[in-house]
Amino acid sequence: MKRNPSESKGSQKQTVLQRIDTLFIELLERQSPVDENHPNVQFRSASEFANQLIEHENHLNRAVKEVNEKQLLRLLANGFFRNLKHSDWNISKIAFVLGFKEVSHFNNFFKKHMGLSPSKFRNT
């Protein structure tokens, strides 16, 4: 560490970001897929995940983006949307479990992030 402090510091930074990302991914995966044993999604937003991980939301976003090269919101959406592929629940039940008050709000959110409707996504 004394020979190349900048290299050591850079690798420590990466390790911290990787640890935060790993914790986030584990927390996200524990909620998915939604089934009878896991009837509700506990954390829905970046701020809820950050609070659970005792991290600042911006720091969590940065860690996830640096490690995965994807934005946290995209990973959240993909994690939630996996439920459509792995669950036999209808779309309205999945929307409710994910915290949407109206199925139309879920459909709009889904289409914005995936570019197609939930039913088309499920059938692909």
pLDDT of residue 114: 82
pLDDT of residue 34: 59
Q: What is the DSSP string of 35-103?
A: BTTB-S-S--SHHHHHHHHT--HHHHHHHHHHHHSS-HHHHHHHHHHHHHHH--S-HHHHHHHTT-SSH
pLDDT of residue 37: 63
pLDDT of residue 77: 76
Q: Residue 87's closest CA among 121, 48, 42, 44? A: 121
- The series of mean pLDDT values per 10 residues for the chain, 124 residues long, is 47 80 88 63 84 94 90 78 76 81 90 87 83
Please name each of the domains of the chain with its CATH number: 5-123 (1.10.10.60)
Instruction: Find out whether the peptide bond into 33 is cis, omega within 30 degrees of 0.
Output: yes
